[in-house]
A and B are shown apart, each in its own frame.
Chain A
Amino acid sequence: MNAAMNALESCKPLTRNEMAAQLARDIPEGWCVNLGIGAPLKVADYVPEEREVIFHSENGILGMGPAPAPDKINRWLINAGKQYVTMRPGGSYSHHADSFGLIRGGHLDLCVLGAFQVAENGDIANWSISDNDSAPAVGGAMDLAAGARRLWVIMEHTTKSGDSRLVRRCSYPLTAIGAVKRVYTNLAVLDVTGDGFAVRDMAPGLTFEGLQQATDAPLRMATQ
């Protein structure tokens, strides 16, 4: 842990907003995208309005827009996080079975989720921290993780106590196996490959050795 902490002293980890902005840059026009509840939702704020990305919310919304002005709330229109949202021109509604049919059928170009852990084989753990969880709540996470054409994860690189969230094998209960394609953390952007994690980008001032010290799973540089 100390080695990891030392390695990070000289670098400038990304803020949550910077992580969201970095991920948003990689979403091209035309994609159909589901952003999970919490940190992933922030990504929408950094997709410029003129770039036409179709946001999906699993409670039956395609073409979701940002939060409404206080005097323009449609009280019948909420997202999966149960917040008021708006519809963009071209938006449409579907019922729950069709909405998840879209997910399961591979029509989502991208889903972005938060996670507790991602393993080097693409396993993701993001819904429960214990097998003895009092009342676990999975929501749509397993459907999204297994169904989307691409699953990207946005999360802090380590826990508050400094443990790596990028691991060889997840110790928390799994959400899906072999599903994650890319991870955006406050320290790096990494692809999940058949050969484990490949580093695409690092926070300013961070060295590969420093990143490796902060990471449980073995890393290599991406070949581009």
Chain B
Amino acid sequence: MINKLVQNMAEAMAGIADGSVVLLGGFGNIGQPHALLDALIEQGAKDLTVVSNNAGVGRTGLARLLDLGRVRKIVCSYPRTADPVVFEELYRAGRIELEIVPQGTMAERIRAAGAGIPAFFTATAVGTKLAAGKEERDIRGRKYLLEEALPGDVALVEAWEADRWGNLTYRSSARNFNPIMATAAQLTIVQSQHIVELGALDPEKIMTPGVYVNRVVHVPYGEPMVP
């Protein structure tokens, strides 16, 4: 019997090694797997590279992971959210490495990693300072940059519903980066609001087939109170 449901956070986070590349779902506060982030803080892995659209808000969740000095490098498109105080402090002190990636290029690099595509060309960022060091090629009269896939060791994902195979649905705009990050890591760990019986999810509505998922933990926290 395939059963990816795990009963506690220690089981969910087991085996995450120091130096891991962690893909983190979410856009702002929506769709971000906060319970898994807290569990990662508890688990203790350090020297991490975190791939996330934003660099944490306030002093909890991702910001706390940064604050504890556990993140060596962050790859993101928009480190300046409403209250990026921890990130700004670390960055100014030279204690964290930052790779700024245009949001769509970041999404496609992750998608490519999950789909077995090592690199692709995009017109995004041509002629800008983010093109530095990248191969530029003229294809049918337009300039493009070569961008490499961005795979992770671990993906932390928030879903709306899950079954024991790890099939997932998402809620409204909380879908965002979650489905692509689920495809792009060696170990995909999911927190889900609801756990349902195998067969209860409409195959037409499943966004992430369970083959991409390794572990699912039930976290019925209700609604995100901050956007």
Q: How far is the CA of A138 from the CA of B53 in the complex (A)?
A: 11
CA distance A215 to B207 in the complex (A): 51
Q: Which residues of A contact B82 (CB under 8 A)?
A: 82
- Residue among B125, B180, B207 with most chain A CB within 10 A: B125
Whether a CB of chain A sits under 8 angstroms from the CB of B68 is no
Q: What is the interface residue range for chain A against chain B? A: 35 or more
Give the interface centre of A77, A142, A173, A176 by most chain B CB atoms within 10 Å: A142
Residues of B within 8 A of A222 (CB): none
Given contacts A94-B175, A146-B125, contact A75 B227 (CB under 8 A): yes
Interface segment, one of B4-12, B41-49, B166-174, B209-217: B166-174
The proximity string for A residues 69-103 relative to B, scoring 1 for CB distances below 8 Å and 0 otherwise, is 00000111111001110000000011111011101
B223 and A61 contacting across the interface, CB-CB below 8 Å? no
Check A76/B102 contact, CB under 8 A, given A82-B82, A135-B87, A138-B130.
Answer: no
Partner of B102, one of A60, A78, A101, A143: A143
B100: chain A residues within 8 A (beta carbon): 136-138
- Given A100-B103, A147-B124, A95 and B227 contact (CB-CB distance below 8 Å): no
Q: Is A177 among interface residues, defined by CB-CB distance under 8 A?
A: yes
B225 at the binding interface (Cβ < 8 Å) = yes
- Contact partner, A93, options B108, B111, B173, Cβ 8 Å: B173
Chain A CB within 8 A of B30 CB? yes
Tell me, in angstroms, the Cα distance from A96 to B223 when the chains sit together.
Answer: 21
**Interface: A120 (CB within 8 A):** no
CA distance A76 to B207 in the complex (A): 17
Total of A-B residue pairs, C-beta within 8 Å: 147
- Chain B: interface residue count, which band? 35 or more
Are A104 and B173 within 8 A (Cβ)? no
Q: A76-B223, A97-B107 are in contact. Are A142 and B125 (CB under 8 A)?
A: yes
Q: A76-B224, A138-B78, A177-B126 are in contact. Are A96 and B173 (CB under 8 A)?
A: no
Verify if B140 is at the interface (C-beta below 8 Å from A): no
Cross-interface CB contact of A143 among B111, B124, B173, cutoff 8 Å: B124
Q: Is A140 part of the binding interface, using a Cβ–Cβ cutoff of 8 Å? A: yes
Q: Are B77 and A140 in contact (CB under 8 A)?
A: yes
- 6 A-B contact pairs sorted by A residue (CB < 8 Å): A76-B174, A76-B223, A82-B29, A134-B92, A137-B78, A138-B101
The chain B residues found within 8 Å of chain A, CB to CB, are 27-31, 53, 77-82, 84, 87-88, 91-92, 98, 100-105, 107-108, 110-111, 122-130, 170-180, 207, 223-225, 227
